[in-house]
A and B are shown apart, each in its own frame.
Chain A
Amino acid sequence: METPLAYYLFVGAVLFVSGIVCMATKRNGIAVLMGVELVLNGANVNFVAFAHYTPLGLDGQIVSLFVIVLAAAEAAVALAIALNFYNNHQTIDVDRGDKLRG
């Protein structure tokens, strides 16, 4: 018996929600970026599952491949910015960035 689509979507949803919670609660800049990765991969699970079960077909798998590459590129840029923040503030606690407000 084939695994129903809903199981995969459930895994994707759990990853997505974990990522959102991680982004919203963590104060460490790196941990926030890890949350973003979880969200992107939750969407990837959805895409691959839909590719198998719905008329979306190969498009879904292609999207997930592109997203994997893009997530790496975005992580590289985000880490560079986090490093620059660390050099200027000696911390990567996002709450310490409080110079700009109003």
Chain B
Amino acid sequence: MLANTSIPVFEQLFNELTKTLPGDVFAFLPELVLCGTVIALLLGRLLGTDRWIPGHWTALVGTLIAFGFSFNAALGGIELSSVEATAEISRSELFSGLLINDGMTIFFRLFLLLFLVLVIALTVLSGIPDNEDGPDFYTLLLGATIGMMLMVSANHLLILFLAVEMASVPSYVLVGFLKGRRASSEAALKYVVYGAGAAGVMLYGTSLVAGLLGTAEIDQIAGKLSELTLTGATLRTILLGVMMILVGLAFKLSLVPFHFWCPDAFEGAPAEVGGFLSVASKGAAFALLIRVAGQLAGPAAVPPEIPVPGLEGLAISLAIGLGLVGAASSTFGNLAAYSQTNIKRLLAYSTIAHAGYMLLGVSAMILARHAGDTDLARDCVSGVLFYLTVYLFMNLGAFAIVALVRNQIYSEEIADYKGLAKQAPLLCVAMAVCLFSLVGLPPLGGFVAKFFVLAPVWKAGDIHPAMWLLVGVALLNTVFSLFYYLRILVAMFIDDRPTGQPVAKPDSVDKLYVALVSIPILLLGASPLIGKLSQAAEDAARDLFL
């Protein structure tokens, strides 16, 4: 009886799989190449070939191949969108709806792989890890990146959880990579304890949402939400589940009040790892947050004359709640950064503040989406994507300079940076570019990025006036943040170098790398590249809301 019924089921499954699998695997090639590189690194370690072929070459070649594949996919996407009308959707589901392949996936894949190439190049220059530990380090780095690439393409609550964990677990180890150091082991323990707790809470929230809606596919959440009668216990359970999922994401984004781990982890970890986590992990978490939050805003097609009970309140309270968390994060991050003496810790607080600015974009996106203003919602998303891209260069630049200077003067205290400009002028000028861009001064990339994020938020003030207040808080924060960034620059440029301090003599390769990272910041502030990037960001956001 059982056998008779199950054979057609398997046959159907088999037919279904063979029909779509080759195409799915092809679209998944960048991730598969990274997986292959990880295996090659581990095998190299096992067979001892890593003595002839250092781990960083294997990792670099693998990442470049993956970048080539995803660049190819991006070019295909652009051709498709220029031939077809703009309404054409280049969105496809992979592996029976577990993953999604749309403009945003392609954008973030390129973002993550470009960043990975830059980070590997930085680790080669700065000498962390040494040749002995290289294969291990790059295995973890690539493994975390695969997790992040899954995060940006997740379309199923299982993949959401798995991808977040795949990105987190290697990150815990990376933070504790210098295992002989007390600070490093302490940072790793704090990170793993908080991280595992946040992941557990997120999984419980996922179970509540999936059980109540009867589906685990993220792109069906909006539809199922509008079918439910959101009152009483149902509404409370959904709210609880959604808040728990957001706790997990807020932890990855190091938003107030889930930021405790961030300064400790960044101070204990090598600066290279801090740079990697601050950009890649945040970018991927923002992609995931945009996907989930876009669904929670409900289907845009709901006509206002038939309001779904409860959904109205859910979307608006979610938008305002996220906006307040964003404002609190940027305020707290900037206030706490003010009194720091360790530069990595200061930059950690600065990343908290920047996550706060970007979160305002997401909160305005929910509002606009809920009000049915799809164009404004897309503007919000493309603003966040633009910001993340500029943030990649300016934050990586700052962390790279910290790492390279550490190799020269063996210190990461701001007090030891005094008078560095006379010994390493290029590094200090590049640092000034990165920091002024982080403040958001024109004509640097950070200014344009802040404008692109905050302008749609200001426009969303027409829907709910709280957005105007949030933009005001963000602008005040920008002004305030100038002071603590300036403190580093004053130490570098104006103070005299005390006698007896180690002399910084950066190599020409170091200078080249730093210039390479900081030139895009200048270009993204005042050149036609702004238009190109914002076009790419808009293309990425276009498929998001149907």
Contact of B176 among A63, A81, A94, A101 (CB under 8 A): A81
Q: Is B190 an interface residue (CB 8 A)?
A: yes
Q: 0/1 per residue, B186-224, Cβ < 8 Å to A? A: 111110110011011101101110111011100000000
Q: Which of B182, B196, B203, B264 contacts A78 (CB 8 A)?
A: B196
Against B, the Cβ 8 Å flags (1 = close, 0 = not) of A79-99 are 011101101110000100101
In the complex, A38→B187 CA distance in Å? 24
CB-CB contacts below 8 Å: A21-76 with B: 23, 29, 32-33, 35-36, 39-40, 42-44, 46-47, 49-50, 54-56, 59-60, 62-63, 66-67, 70, 73-74
Given A70-B165, A97-B190, residue A54 in contact with residue B214 (CB < 8 A): yes
* B519 at interface, CB cutoff 8 A: no
Residues of B within 8 A of A88 (CB): 180-182, 185-186
A82 to B169 Cα, complex, angstroms: 14
Kindly list chain A residues whose C-beta atoms are within 8 Å of the C-beta of B480.
none
B residues in contact with A85, CB < 8 Å: 185-186, 188-189
Question: B161 at the A/B interface (Cβ < 8 Å)?
Answer: yes
Bound Cα distance from A94 to B194, whole angstroms? 11
The residues of A that contact B263 with a CB separation of less than 8 Å are: 100, 102
Asked if B158 is at the interface of the complex by the 8 Å CB criterion, the answer is yes
> Nearest-CB distance from A17 to chain B (Å)?
10
Instruction: Decide if B188 touches A89 in the complex (CB within 8 Å).
Output: no
| Cβ-neighbour of A70 out of B162, B185, B192 (below 8 A) | B162
CA distance in complex: A79, B310 (Å) = 44
Is B340 interfacial (CB-CB < 8 Å)? yes
* CB-nearest residue of chain B to A9: B211
The answer to the question of A14 belonging to the interface, with a C-beta cut-off of 8 Å to chain B, is no
CB within 8 A of A59: which of B158, B161, B268?
Answer: B158
User: A83 to nearest B CB, angstroms?
Assistant: 9
**Known A88-B182, A89-B185; contact A36-B172, beta-carbon cutoff 8 A:** no
Question: Do residues A74 and B196 form an inter-chain contact, with CB atoms below 8 A?
Answer: yes
A46 touching B211, Cβ below 8 Å: yes
- Secondary structure of the B contact surface, majority rule: helix
Asked if B179 is at the interface of the complex by the 8 Å CB criterion, the answer is: yes
Point out the residues of chain A lying under 8 angstroms from B341, CB to CB: 102
Q: Is there an interface contact between B189 and A46, defined as CB atoms closer than 8 Å?
A: no
- Is B267 on the interface with A (CB-CB < 8 A)? yes
Q: Give every chain A residue within 8 A of B187 (Cβ-Cβ).
A: 100
Answer yes or no: B345 CB below 8 A from chain A CBs.
Answer: yes
**How long is the Cα–Cα vector from A40 to B204 in the complex, in angstroms?**
7
Query: Does A11 lie at the interface of the complex (its beta carbon under 8 Å from any beta carbon of B)?
Result: no
Q: Kindly state the separation between the CA atoms of A77 and B162 in the bound complex, as whole angstroms.
A: 15
Inter-chain contact A42/B204, CB cutoff 8 Å? yes
By a CB distance below 8 angstroms, the chain A residues around B185 are 81, 84-85, 87-89
Q: Return B533 CB to nearest CB of chain A, in Å.
A: 36
Q: Judging by beta carbons under 8 Å apart, are B200 and A19 in contact?
A: yes
Cβ-defined contact, B211 with A66, below 8 A: no
Most chain A CB within 10 A, of B161, B179, B181, B211, is at B211
A23 to B204, CA, bound (A): 15
Q: Determine whether B339 belongs to the interface, using a CB cutoff of 8 Å to chain A.
A: yes
Closest Cβ–Cβ distance, residue B63 to chain A (whole Å): 23
Q: How far is the CB of A86 from chain B (nearest CB, A)?
A: 9
7 further contact pairs, Cβ within 8 A, besides A36-B200, A63-B161, A89-B186: A35-B197, A39-B201, A39-B204, A43-B204, A60-B210, A74-B165, A102-B263
Q: Sort A-B residue pairs by CB-CB distance and give the 4 closest, nearest first.
A: A39-B200, A50-B211, A55-B214, A46-B207
| Between-chain CB contacts (< 8 Å), 21 pairs | A20-B197, A29-B189, A33-B196, A36-B197, A39-B203, A43-B204, A43-B206, A46-B207, A47-B210, A50-B210, A54-B212, A55-B215, A56-B214, A63-B157, A78-B172, A84-B179, A97-B189, A97-B190, A100-B186, A100-B187, A102-B339
